[in-house]
Amino acid sequence: MLRHIGVCVLALALLAGPAKAADADLPPPDPADAIYTITLEADIPNTARCLGDLSTPLCALETFIACKEIPDMRRNPICGQVGYQLPPPPTGEIREYLDSRPVDPTIYRIAIYYRVHASLWPSPAMVKEIQHRFSHRPTPPWILPGDGIVLVQHGMCVVPAENACKLRVKGYTIYALYKAGGVWRVRGRDVVPGIPALREALMLPNSRM
């Protein structure tokens, strides 16, 4: 029994960071049946709550998602401000393949569906553990001490213009956000690592990753 209590205390110490006045800035979980739509399509209701406003983590998150998933948004200056970077242009065989294809006249409609599943301020120890799980990658850490975490359940619709989009969410992505220069930015995003204390706090089942 004492051993069980000790394990629980250790898990809480790993997860809980110092108290912050900005705790309320992270968005609370959305109701299970709440799904929000981010789109530029004229005939699809856009229910984004504050797209284009970087004054809160939720607004920055919506803006980042739009910049990443909607091509017409990507060259908007606000995308660079929120932390989105255009991927490098394709080279080599991929570039040759794209150049050889005829121009596709089909116009697609794009809509992103999402809901906030959970959010938290991880402790420095938890951030270190997350970084360790991804240390095999050559890229810089996508989360740093002091960042807030928002877990998003999401879905996407990309269909020809004559088809209807289906409203649904299924996958999960974890985002790290921070405030700099008076605005919120997304530092990075990834799959949810299989850290039991983190997944429990985010209300997710454990994973072997």
Query: Order of strands, edge to edge, in the sheet holding 36-39?
Result: 36-39, 108-120, 148-160, 171-180, 183-190
Q: Name the average pLDDT for the chain.
A: 82
Confidence category of residue 5, pLDDT binned at 50, 70, 90: very low
Q: How does pLDDT run across 129-167, given as a tens digit for each residue? A: 999 999 888 888 999 999 999 999 999 998 887 888 888
Token pair of 80 as six digits = 């660079």
- Cα–Cα distance for residue pair 45/193, rounded to 1 Å: 34
Strands (E), 24-181: 36-39, 108-120, 148-160, 171-180
- pLDDT at residue 2 is higher than 50: no
Lookup: tokens for 128: 């270190």
Confidence class for position 186, pLDDT limits 50, 70, 90: very high
pTM for this entry: 0.80
Residue 197 has pLDDT above 80, yes or no: yes
Condensed to tens digits (0 to 9), the pLDDT of residues 110-135 reads 899 999 999 999 999 999 999 999 98
Output the pLDDT for position 169.
Answer: 87
Q: Looking at residues 69-89, what average pLDDT do you find?
A: 88
Q: Report domain extents, the chain.
A: 2-49+109-177+188-201
**pLDDT, tens digit (0-9, with 9 covering 90-100), for 169-178:** 889 999 999 9
